[in-house]
Amino acid sequence: MMRVKSGAMALIVVIVFVAGIGGSMAFNLWKTTSDKEPAKYREGALAGKANPADIRGSYALSDIVAAFDVPLADLARAFGAEKEKDPAAFQVKSLEGRFPVDASGKEIGTDSVRLFVALYRGLPITAAANTGLPAAAAEILLAKAPLDAAGIADVKARTAGAVAGAAATAAPATAASAPAAKEPAAGSGTATKTEPTADRTIKGSTTFQNILDWGAAKQDIEKVLGGPMGAASTVVKDFATAKGIEFSTVKTALQALVDAKK
């Protein structure tokens, strides 16, 4: 009867780990970080271009420069990383907690970088209502981004530290009055949109389960998506980003499904 002694067990454990990891490295399967390549738009005029909505906290500024061709100097200055020892290696998640939440509740974090990059490059994006921009980022966008009047107003309204009155007079962007980027945009052609907060409103955190609960049929949802919707627990925005679909394009159609059931 085959016995395994402790010396053999030690060897087996080490060999299985070394062989498993080494073998997967040899076949290029050993991945301990994401590729730092954001998902791409798959439809519309922007098909094939990187989607800023997929920028993640683990991205360094150099990853964003590579994916979106935003100058490092602008990116670093916008988010206060220009004095870092290596601004290119500055990770987006490092922003969390770096800027205090202002009196109006605007937060500066990963979503701010997504918004900045999208506006800088004239790409469509759906940012959260409380996503803020540092003053330096707003300054750069106002000077260099292809913004129309509504876009300029939205940037001003999102600038951290901006007075509430400025936000109110700046015609906050909504699905109906979203400022359009001057460059061609995919899908709905909108740039920034704030998320409505009313019940049964599709937001950045809405899951497929929410939409099902609100009465929409699975087949209708899949018709909008053009394919299977995935797990009910999946966040619609994450699903759209992963599939290379601009969230704003499906959001409108899904909202219509939900509204029809009210």
List of residues contacting another protein (CB under 8 A):
1-7, 9-10, 12-14, 16-17, 20-21, 24, 29-34, 85-86, 89, 94, 97, 230-231, 233-235, 238-239, 242
Nearest distance from residue 256's CB to another protein, in Å? 24
Record the tokens describing residue 71, joined without a space: 């100058």
For 40, phi then psi, to 5°, come to -110, 155
Shortest Å, Cβ 167 to another protein: 30
> Two tokens at 115?
């918004």
User: What is the C-alpha separation between 115 and 85, in angstroms, rounded?
Assistant: 25
Least distance from another protein to the Cβ atom of residue 17, Å = 6
Smallest distance, Å, CB 55 to another protein?
14
Q: Toward another protein, which CB reaches closer, 167 or 224?
A: 224
Burial class (CB in 10 A: 0-12, 13-18, 19+), 93: middle
**Residue nearer to another protein on the CB measure, 158 or 203:** 203
Smaller CB separation from another protein, 17 or 144: 17
Separation between Cα atoms, residue 154 and residue 84, nearest integer Å: 29
Question: And the tokens for 40?
Answer: 């791409």
Is 181 exposed, middle or buried, given 0-12, 13-18 or 19+ CB atoms closer than 10 A? buried
| Nearer CB in complex with another protein: 14/103 | 14
In the bound state with another protein, the residue whose beta carbon lies nearer, of 177 and 205, is 205
CB of 24 to another protein, least distance (A): 5
